[in-house]
């Protein structure tokens, strides 16, 4: 029988979770079913997902920041169809293909327009973690130094080098030992950073300018001073822009907020256009050439799929949409509107500890409320499971108000949102109004929200007990 993808999807849509339970990540399926996230999405467009009944769900997760231009954008779809229709040779490998050259040229031009003409050399790869891996190798080759410093609470990816510089213990359990010579310092502590750099053996200091786990960033000139210390001690300064780059923070690149001059940046996520995995390392030519330093080292760092035509077409389409539709300016405007509305919510609800917003990258952090009954509910849920509370926000946002968001960090009472950059006031109002209603429901103890938390904990523990010991 010939393969008919449309018929296959139409006939089997709805089997999603059963297939994953049998053949993929069974533990993830258990979590999704427990917290009510086992929705079958049948279609997606722009800022919305649609289930099999046609009900819309506002997507304030954006595939962890992939869909800055929205889902299934027609410009990206057309670019991919056009490149397929051309029947170009793809991944010949022992050639220099046109499409990868065009994407690299476009990235360099954009960086020059954003005040970084020194970033003029591009390595194309497949993902954010792969771009970080390459950046670390480039830094070591350029400096001849063995160590890397990163920030506590950072996230840079889950392959070994990237995981080794990820300053988050939740991702480390069971996977050590890690790459030697990787150290973390606290965000904001310049003395601790200088103590590491002055040893003279640090190849690079790598930072997320806005940390993805919790949306944390300095309110002062920490990054400017950190960059100056890197210059003083001959350490390269790497900005991981995998999530923050390409408009997410209301500027093309997050380093623009602080007027920085990074030696290397990493990109991915939005560069895919939402279709084909794509990543990039952009650096100074002098750094680049230290890796590819001789003719016999011309492919000493390479990747099979990194320069493929589909990914490059998707990347060019994503850059075009961001430019033509003014999405970076929209992210800045809507970020200001979102922050204003969330700060208004904070004034009405003492359970909101802090609001952190940079463009359309935002987090709401919660703390123990003052009211007697809400405080009892808070203490009960935290006594059962220290990490459960933010799920009591995220679950009703999805199941009751059809808004997809995420828990921002392990063992932290933070909800994070990443709307696509195409959103307007209507979508932001829908989210903030729904969040307001969920928080009001938290004021009722005992009540359905707090009962849901207890049920979550019981279900999780029951699932753990049922799992055979050999499978754990």
Which class for 339: exposed (0-12), middle (13-18), buried (19 or more C-beta within 10 A)? middle
pLDDT digits (tens, 9 = 90+) for 116-134: 999 999 999 999 999 999 9
pLDDT digits (tens, 9 = 90+) for 309-344: 999 999 999 999 999 999 999 999 999 999 999 999
Residue ranges per structural domain of the chain = 1-34, 39-69+327-466, 75-324
Answer yes or no: are the C-beta atoms of 313 and 85 closer than 8 Å: no
pLDDT digits (tens, 9 = 90+) for 376-401: 888 888 888 878 889 999 999 999 99
Q: Which DSSP category does 324 fall into?
A: H
Q: Which runs of E-coded beta strand occur in 147-233?
A: 147-151, 182-185, 202-207
Range 39-69+327-466 classified under CATH 3.90.1150.10: yes
How far apart are alpha carbons 360 and 431 in whole angstroms? 13
Q: Inform me whether the pLDDT recorded for 273 exceeds 80.
A: yes
Total Cβ atoms within 10 A of residue 468: 6
CATH fold of the domain at 75-324? 3.40.640
Residue 467: band (very low, low, confident or very high) from pLDDT cuts 50, 70, 90: low
Q: Which runs of E-coded beta strand occur in 336-424?
A: 352-358, 361-366, 403-404, 406-407, 414-417
β-sheet bridge partners, residue 182: 148
Take residue 319 and report the two structure tokens written for it: 């850059």
Residue 469: band (very low, low, confident or very high) from pLDDT cuts 50, 70, 90: very low
How far apart are alpha carbons 118 and 108 in whole angstroms? 9
Segment holding 335, helix H or strand E: helix 327-348
């Amino acid at each position: 029988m010939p393969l008919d993808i449309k018929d296959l999807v139409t006939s089997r849509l709805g089997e999603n979770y059963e297939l994953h339970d049998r053949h993929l990540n069974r533990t993830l399926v258990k979590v999704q079913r427990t917290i009510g996230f086992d929705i079958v999405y049948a279609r997606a467009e722009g800022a919305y997902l649609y289930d099999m009944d046609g009900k819309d769900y506002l997507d304030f997760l954006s595939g962890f920041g992939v869909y800055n231009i929205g889902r299934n954008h027609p410009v990206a779809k057309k670019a991919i169809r056009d490149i397929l229709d051309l029947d170009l040779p793809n991944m010949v490998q022992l050639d220099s293909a046109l499409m990868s050259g065009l994407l690299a040229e476009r990235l360099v031009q954009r960086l020059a327009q954003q005040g970084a003409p020194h970033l003029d050399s591009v390595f194309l790869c497949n993902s954010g973690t792969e771009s970080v891996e390459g950046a670390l190798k480039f830094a070591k080759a350029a400096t001849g130094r063995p160590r890397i410093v990163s920030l506590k609470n950072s996230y840079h990816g889950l392959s070994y080098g990237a995981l080794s510089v990820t300053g988050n213990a939740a991702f480390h359990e069971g996977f050590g030992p890690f790459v030697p010579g990787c150290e973390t310092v606290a965000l904001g502590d310049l003395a601790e950073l200088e103590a590491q750099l002055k040893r003279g053996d640090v190849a690079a200091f790598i930072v997320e300018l806005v940390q993805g786990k919790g949306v944390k960033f300095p309110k002062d000139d920490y990054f400017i001073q950190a960059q100056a210390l890197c210059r003083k001690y001959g350490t390269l300064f790497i900005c991981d822009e995998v999530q923050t780059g390409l408009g997410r923070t209301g500027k093309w690149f997050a380093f623009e907020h602080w007027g920085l001059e990074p030696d290397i940046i990493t990109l991915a996520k939005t560069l895919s256009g939402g279709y084909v995995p794509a990543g990039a390392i952009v650096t100074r030519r002098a750094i680049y050439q230290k890796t590819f330093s001789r003719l016999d080292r011309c492919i000493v760092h390479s990747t099979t799929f990194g320069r493929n035509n589909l990914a490059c077409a998707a990347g060019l389409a994503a850059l075009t949409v961001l430019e033509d539709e003014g999405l970076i300016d929209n992210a800045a405007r809507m970020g200001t509107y979102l922050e204003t509305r969330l700060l208004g919510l904070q004034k009405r609800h003492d359970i909101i500890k802090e609001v952190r917003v940079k463009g359309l990258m935002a987090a709401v952090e919660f703390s123990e409320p003052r009211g007697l009954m809400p405080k009892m509910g808070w203490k009960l849920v935290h006594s059962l499971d220290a990490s459960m509370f933010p799920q009591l926000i995220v679950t009703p946002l999805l199941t009751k108000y059809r808004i997809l968001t995420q828990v921002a960090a392990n063992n932290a009472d933070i909800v994070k949102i990443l709307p696509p950059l195409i959103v307007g006031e209507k979508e932001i109002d829908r989210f903030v109004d729904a969040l307001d209603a969920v928080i009001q429901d938290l004021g009722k103890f005992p009540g359905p929200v707090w009962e849901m938390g207890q049920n979550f904990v019981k279900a999780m523990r029951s699932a753990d007990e049922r799992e055979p010991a050999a499978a754990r």
